[in-house]
Every structure is written in C-alpha cells, then in structure tokens.
C-alpha cells in the first residue's frame, strides 16, 4: 500500500484503466494540474485496493516509479518555440494524439482486462469511442467547454440512453458550464499526507506565494501587483507555458520583492507553502477547480483569491478571503485579511473536504454504477 492511502478495501477490487493527458508526461515537476491530478487519482485508487494502469504521456517522458504507466503516443517533439506550450497543436501532433488514444482504447477493450475506464483526458477520441467498446467509461470534465470536446459529448448523447449518467464535473460551477452534459459532481482531492505543514516549520515568513502554470488566464502579474500594494514580498513558481506573456507581463515586474523561482517539484512547493503567510490565486477565467488552493490550505497557508469559478465553493471565510474579480485593491485587502487566519483551520478544512480519500470513494461509486449499467449482451 502507498503511504497516506491505507484504508479498508471495498470488495471486490476493480481493474481500472486511468486515461490521462497525452501531451506531457506525468512525472515531477508536473506540467500542470491535470498531470498532477492523474497521478494523485491513480495512487488513491491503488491505496483503496484497486488494480490500476495509467495510460498517459509520450513514450519519452519520465514516469513515477510506483505506477504502471503505458504511453499514449511516441515522442511529440519540442514545444519550446510554440506560442502556448500547453495548447498549441500542429496537424502532426493532433493526428498522433488521436491515433494514440484510439489505439490504447482498443487495447484496453481487447480482452476484458479492465472493469472500467476513468477518462481523465481532455481529448475527444475517448468520448467518440464510448458506446463502441465493451468496457464502461466514466468521463471526468476538468476544463470549461471547448468545441472539439463539446461536439464529441453531443455526438455521444445521440448514442446512449442516459448520456449524463457517467459524466462527472469537478465542481458545481463547471457542471453549470457543461449544462446538460455532466450528471454528477466530484470534487478533486489531494494527498494530505504529502501536502501538509513541514515538521520543522519555523515562524511563517510574511511573503505571499503564487504557484501554477504561468499563462495569461492565471494572471500572476495581478498577484504581484496586489502583493506589492500590501508591502509584502511575493514569490512565483510554475512552468512557463506562455513565453510571450511571461516576457511582457512578468519579467518587467520582477524585483527583490517579486521573485520567480522556476518550475518546482512538490517537495519544494510544500516547503514554500509551509513557511509563507498567504497564497494568492488570480484566475482570469472561470477556474474549474483550483488544486493549488487545496494544496496551500493543506499546508496550513490561507489564501486570497479572485471569486471566480469553483473558488467560492472551496474557499470559505475561515480559510481565506475572496475579492471581486480583477480588482487589485480588493485583492490586496483580502491578502491582509487572510494573513490573520488560522493555519490549523486551513489544514483541517483541507483534510475534511479536499482529501483523496473522499474523492476516491466517490469515484468508486461512479465506477460501480457504470459497470452495473452495461447491457449484458455488450459486456459478454
């Protein structure tokens, strides 16, 4: 059993194929929340006694040593010259990913080796193939609607009697955006044994922390501006996935009181979250969930954030302060209010509401429901 996930096994155990993202690998430091969440989900399910294989990433990517990982695609090449490393896709890469997903789904379904597929990808192919395969698929939505994925779900709806039944949104606000597509909501979870206050924490530094993918819709430049108005220093961490935005908006703001630390692994982030006063979260889009908020709270650090997307559900008044979206002065006030909140309250909130144990149990119920719903003739 993996440390942090020991709990009673729900019998019988399931054979689960977790279908993750293809573009980036799932080794640390993670390219983004989807990669991190795919690993966390797999480990939580293994800790619950299930047999899990993860299908994710290119064949050239490093993978966690404790997981059975099968690549979806061969080497996709170098994205370093792309305008957006996370979303820019050439015709060659698009074709490779489509072929890769179709190939692994046929493999998963070939000999009845799996009881259920957990589709954690953002690709249309697993949705388009649902109904053509014997293995039931549970689809999890992690992002706002976009044309390719929405079109695939609409096509799927014409083939299945109750198409919303096995589609899950990671927050209520995201379910509303996918109106008529998602029939269930399961909050994301984090491993609260990994994300926890460091044992030898000294008094917290007065600095702020911003962490995540450095892209325009995450708006770390607004976090710098708000922290500066409070007189507090701020450090930023995360992969630069929109280089022009970083050069135009972040670099000019960097100074002794605003420092970029690079793309950090979980251990380094835990250390920062455990020793800093306030986490600042600045989405300029309808944030689907906000894993970084859960990670910060689990390390005992309160948050100040824009009230967008799922954040009003996650951030209650005892663990953070929410400002009007895009309002820097209001966010600065929220940083000051959050700085006085209890670290132990933050930790308790994360353990109670944002744990992988809660998430895995909810997914298990969804899997068993999907398996029970498979027509007998199709399952044979």
Q: In terms of domains, do 225 and 179 share one?
A: no
Percent of the chain with pLDDT over 70: 91
CA proximity to 104, closest of 17, 192, 41, 214: 17
Q: In terms of domains, do 370 and 347 share one?
A: no
Q: In terms of domains, do 164 and 254 share one?
A: no
Over residues 250-270, mean pLDDT: 97
Q: Is the confidence at residue 376, as pLDDT, over 60?
A: no
Question: Which of 118-132, 176-190, 197-211, 212-226 has the least mean pLDDT?
Answer: 197-211
Q: Is the confidence at residue 21, as pLDDT, over 90?
A: yes
Q: In terms of domains, do 154 and 258 share one?
A: no
Q: In terms of domains, do 177 and 270 share one?
A: no
Q: What is the CATH number of the domain that holds 105?
A: 3.40.50.2000
Looking at the domain assignment, is residue 200 inside a domain? no
Using a 10 angstrom Cβ sphere, with 0-12 exposed, 13-18 middle and 19 or more buried, the burial of residue 118 is buried
Instruction: For residue range 211-246, list pLDDT tens digits in order.
Output: 999 999 999 999 999 999 999 999 999 999 999 999
Total count of domains within the chain: 2
Q: In terms of domains, do 34 and 148 share one?
A: yes
Q: Six-digit token pair at 113?
A: 């080796």
Please state, rounded to an integer, the average pLDDT across all residues of the chain.
91
Domain that holds residue 178: 15-189+356-379
Q: In terms of domains, do 176 and 215 share one?
A: no
- The confidence score (pLDDT) of residue 2 equals 35
Q: In terms of domains, do 336 and 361 share one?
A: no
Over residues 243-253, mean pLDDT: 97
Whole-model pTM? 0.90
- The confidence score (pLDDT) of residue 177 equals 95
Q: In terms of domains, do 235 and 156 share one?
A: no
Nearest-10 Cα torsion for 279, 280, 285, 290 = 0
Q: Is the confidence at residue 4, as pLDDT, over 50?
A: no
Residue recorded with tokens 């990517």: 61
Q: Choose between 170 and 81: higher pLDDT.
A: 170
Residue 196 in 3-state DSSP?
coil
Q: Beta partners for 208?
A: 234, 278
Q: In terms of domains, do 182 and 256 share one?
A: no
Instruction: For residue range 98-114, list pLDDT tens digits in order.
Output: 999 999 999 998 878 89
Q: In terms of domains, do 183 and 220 share one?
A: no
CA proximity to 86, closest of 231, 199, 232, 242: 242
Over residues 59-64, mean pLDDT: 93
Residue recorded with tokens 């000019």: 252
Q: In terms of domains, do 173 and 322 share one?
A: no
């Amino acid at each position: 059993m993996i440390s942090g996930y020991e709990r009673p096994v729900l019998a019988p155990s399931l054979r689960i194929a977790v279908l993750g993202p293809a573009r980036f690998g799932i080794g640390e430091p993670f390219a983004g929340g989807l990669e991190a969440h795919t690993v966390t989900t797999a480990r939580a399910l293994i800790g619950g006694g299930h047999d899990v294989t993860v299908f994710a990433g290119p064949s050239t990517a490093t993978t966690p040593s404790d997981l059975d990982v099968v690549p979806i695609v061969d080497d996709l090449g170098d994205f370093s010259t792309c305008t957006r490393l996370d979303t820019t896709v050439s015709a060659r890469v698009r074709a490779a990913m489509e072929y890769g997903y179709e190939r692994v789904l046929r493999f998963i379904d070939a000999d009845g080796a799996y009881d259920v597929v957990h589709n954690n990808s953002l690709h249309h192919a697993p949705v388009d193939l649902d109904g053509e395969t014997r293995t039931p698929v549970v689809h999890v939505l992690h992002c706002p609607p976009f044309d390719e994925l929405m079109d695939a779900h609409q096509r799927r709806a014409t083939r299945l009697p109750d198409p919303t039944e096995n589609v899950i949104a990671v927050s209520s606000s995201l379910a509303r955006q996918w109106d008529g597509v998602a029939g269930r909501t399961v909050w994301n979870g984090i491993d609260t044994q990994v994300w926890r206050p460091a044992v030898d924490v000294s008094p917290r530094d007065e600095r702020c922390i911003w962490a995540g993918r450095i892209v325009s819709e995450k708006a770390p430049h607004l976090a710098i501006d708000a922290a500066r108005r409070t007189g507090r220093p701020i450090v930023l961490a995360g992969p630069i996935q929109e280089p022009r935005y970083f050069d135009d908006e972040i670099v000019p703001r960097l100074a002794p009181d605003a420092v970029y630390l690079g793309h950090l692994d979980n251990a380094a982030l835990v250390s920062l979250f455990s020793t800093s006063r306030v986490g600042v979260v600045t989405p300029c889009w309808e944030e689907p969930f906000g894993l970084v908020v859960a990670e910060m709270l689990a390390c005992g650090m309160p948050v100040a954030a824009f009230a967008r997307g799922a954040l009003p559900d996650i951030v209650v008044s005892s663990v953070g302060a929410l400002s009007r979206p895009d309002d820097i002065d209001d966010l600065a006030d929220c940083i000051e209010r959050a700085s006085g909140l209890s670290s132990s309250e933050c930790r308790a909130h994360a353990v109670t509401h944002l744990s992988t144990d809660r998430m895995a149990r909810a997914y298990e119920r969804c899997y068993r429901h999907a398996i029970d719903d498979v027509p007998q003739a199709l399952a044979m």
